[in-house]
């Protein structure tokens, strides 16, 4: 290059001025203080023969401060080499992708498959199948043993290779994905809470036990019911019918009976225990019957009764839970995928204010009374000396007595029966957070059981093995 421009090499010049003013077409590096071949032509065409750009500097010197001038060829060479290696790596002899040694065909395989043919081929071949299975689409057929990973080679009896197994069609894969992504609920749970204690609050315990009897009759098992009773009226010394609780003066149905499972009893019923149970933030030693083991496909009925007021409900006559507490607990449940839909039903004074602060999706709320209204009792039992049920709960249960597990009655049918002249208050229904209309929501979606089944990916053995 020096021979082209001048007999004197550029390195002979030691200053910017002498370097750029020479006839040798040299360029001056300001950051290194060196004169190198390349030079400049003029301010309008300041590109060197090697492609570097020189900038105007110190009045007369066109110089470059880019060290890439020296490193550029090396960097470009490494980039080209890396691209070539990647191209070769992604398209290698087919035997490297598990089709067996001795086959010269090539195919486009992933980086995880390429390079697996090292050392013992059969050993690496097994690893290849393991990796392929992790990404294979699910195929549903009558013979699970016949399934093979998509794109993997099928083998004949003597270990030789044959034609590759067929891959799943796109439509089949989408159907499978849609099946497992289906958000239809598969299980129902009920959380039934009586927050009042003392004998004169007998009706609140009767309210809860009446609802407990209804959901059990409609198919929800005890294993999916959380029953919380703040007091035990059945064993109260004032009870003239020991070990029994009734919701009607005729005393035809013993709500307590021999088949009842109380999960939280007496002083176990607190605001803290209620919120912990809903959100799943319980102690490790908590038994199963005190845990709400729901998931993202669970429909949950939450029924509460007791003494309350505007935006609060009393627990044990000593503490309160407010509408913000319940709203935040439901939001935690939604974020942790602990429910699909919730039906919140509350029977207390000014009940409708208790769901006014809800903001989580898929929650339908029903209350017994508006703000400023009382929720009144019904049926006074002169033998026991107390009222045995509240009006709102009584008329709900009266409607439920006409249902069975196969009923197609909807929540719209239930709400249509609410009569102010009978209930003596104005029940409220909040639907803005709920994704379905009341006309399309069956009562058994919350108060009953579901017979839907969910298929699993692997067969489950049933019965004992012979021998």
Question: Which residues fall within 8 angstroms of residue 199, CB to CB, at 6 or more apart?
Answer: 231, 233, 236, 238, 239, 386
C-alpha 331: how far from its chain's center? Answer: 13
Sheet containing 319-322, strands listed edge to edge, beginning at the edge strand earlier in sequence: 308-309, 312-315, 319-322
Identify the three-state secondary structure at position 251.
coil
d(CA 278, CA 300): 10
- Backbone φ and ψ of 91, nearest 5°: -140, 90
- Select which of 121, 129, 307, 426 is catalytic: 307
- Select which of 10, 19, 194, 349 is catalytic: 349
- Asked whether the beta carbons of 309 and 349 are under 8 A apart, the reply is yes
307 catalytically annotated: yes
Q: Kindly list the distances between the CA atom of residue 295 and the CA atoms of 186, 237, 275, in Å, as whole numbers in the listed order.
A: 9, 41, 17
- Asked whether the beta carbons of 412 and 436 are under 8 A apart, the reply is no
Residue of 221, 210, 225, 215 whose CA lies nearest to 255: 210
d(CA 275, CA 285): 17
Catalytic positions, written as ranges: 307, 349
């Amino acid at each position: 290059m020096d021979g082209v421009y001048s007999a004197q090499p550029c390195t002979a010049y030691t200053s910017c001025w002498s370097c750029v003013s020479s006839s040798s077409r040299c360029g001056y590096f300001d950051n290194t203080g060196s004169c190198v071949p390349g030079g400049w032509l003029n301010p309008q065409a300041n590109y060197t023969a090697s492609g570097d750009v020189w900038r105007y500097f110190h009045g007369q010197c066109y110089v470059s401060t880019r060290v890439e001038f020296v490193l550029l060829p090396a960097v470009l060479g490494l980039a080209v080499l890396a691209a070539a290696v990647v191209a070769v790596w992604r398209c290698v002899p087919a035997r490297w992708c598990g089709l067996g040694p001795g086959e010269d065909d090539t195919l486009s395989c992933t980086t995880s498959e390429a390079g697996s043919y090292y050392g013992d081929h059969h050993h690496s071949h097994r690893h290849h199948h393991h990796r392929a299975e992790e990404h294979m689409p699910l195929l549903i057929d009558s013979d699970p043993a016949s399934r093979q990973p998509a794109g993997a080679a099928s083998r004949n009896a003597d270990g030789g290779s044959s034609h590759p197994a067929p891959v799943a069609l796109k439509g089949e894969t989408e159907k499978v994905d849609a099946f497992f992504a289906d958000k239809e609920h598969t299980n129902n749970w009920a959380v039934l809470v009586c927050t009042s204690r003392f004998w004169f609050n007998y009706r609140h315990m009767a309210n809860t036990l009446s609802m407990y009897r209804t959901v059990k009759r409609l198919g929800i098992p005890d294993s999916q019911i959380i029953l919380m009773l703040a007091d035990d009226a059945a064993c109260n010394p004032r009870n003239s019918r020991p070990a029994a609780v009734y919701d009607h003066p005729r005393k035809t149905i013993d709500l307590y009976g021999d088949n009842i499972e109380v999960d939280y009893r007496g002083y176990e019923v607190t605001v803290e225990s209620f919120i912990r149970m809903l959100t799943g933030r319980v102690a490790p030693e908590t038994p199963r019957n005190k845990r709400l083991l729901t998931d993202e496909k669970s429909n949950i009925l939450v029924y509460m009764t007791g003494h309350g007021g505007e935006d609060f409900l009393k627990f044990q006559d000593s503490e309160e839970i407010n509408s913000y507490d319940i709203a935040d607990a439901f939001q935690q449940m939604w974020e942790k995928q602990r429910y699909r839909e919730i039906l919140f039903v509350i029977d207390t004074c000014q009940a409708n204010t208790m769901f006014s602060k809800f903001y989580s999706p898929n929650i339908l709320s029903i209350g017994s009374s508006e703000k400023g209204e009382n929720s009144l009792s019904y049926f006074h039992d002169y033998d026991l000396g107390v009222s045995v049920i509240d009006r709102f709960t009584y008329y709900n249960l009266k409607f439920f007595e006409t249902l069975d597990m196969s009923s197609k009655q909807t929540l719209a049918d239930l709400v249509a029966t609410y009569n102010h002249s009978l209930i003596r208050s104005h029940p409220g229904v909040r639907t803005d957070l709920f994704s379905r209309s009341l006309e399309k929501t069956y009562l058994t979606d919350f108060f009953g059981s579901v017979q839907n089944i969910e298929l699993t990916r692997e067969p489950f053995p049933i019965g004992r093995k012979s021998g």
